[in-house]
Structure 1
């Protein structure tokens, strides 16, 4: 599930319309909303992190991240634009810039996405946050 989220940016780069963008973000949101309550709670974010922490050291290295992307999205990683977007997304998610995605990095993503600080990320908050990331990655 985590890599559905991580695949969001390259998919957005390929989106041709606002409708495509909405469908892509909604699909990722739905994949992360394990209890189908139309909100993503912190424990739901933890679940997908644990899925991709390959050696259970409580962090995801760039190598683990790249291997998971290659495994889960083999057709997409042959395009240099998409490969670059994946690399840039890792750097965005690595909030403390130590070369790993760790729970505290995802805590920062969660806090930033939770606009009203109520402990959950709604669909609207999710859309807003990832639209901002997309603009940042594309425009620099």
Structure 2
């Protein structure tokens, strides 16, 4: 009796691999986010130091909010940083991220920790950095970050 024409037996691993479709980095990234009140997209993956980390293609480790920004808005110019306008480190919502210089990022940090020198506010506003009016009111009342 000939076995020609009959299906050859396959291993369990081969069957599993053929059924499992590799997800794109964007699909894997979306699966690791959750939309929270306030429209933050919270990173659910690894967060050493508070900032999300994401394995791109299984071997290259990238910072989650930088990946989100680049996917939505394009590359980040050399030497610039990403600031979380919402002040939530694990947020990866591109609408909550802005490109800033290291100096601008330092000014924003000073504002958010309640630096009492008003020139910090003036400098940030002159440089076109997003500063919420609520922040200014909290600053005037002498409150410090975090305000929530």
Is the TM value for this pair above 0.5? no
- TM value normalised by structure 1: 0.24
- TM value normalised by structure 2: 0.23
Task: Choose 1 or 2 for highest CA Rg.
Answer: 2
| Larger proportion of helix | 1
| Larger proportion of strand | 2
Higher relative contact order (CA 8 A, sep 6+): 1
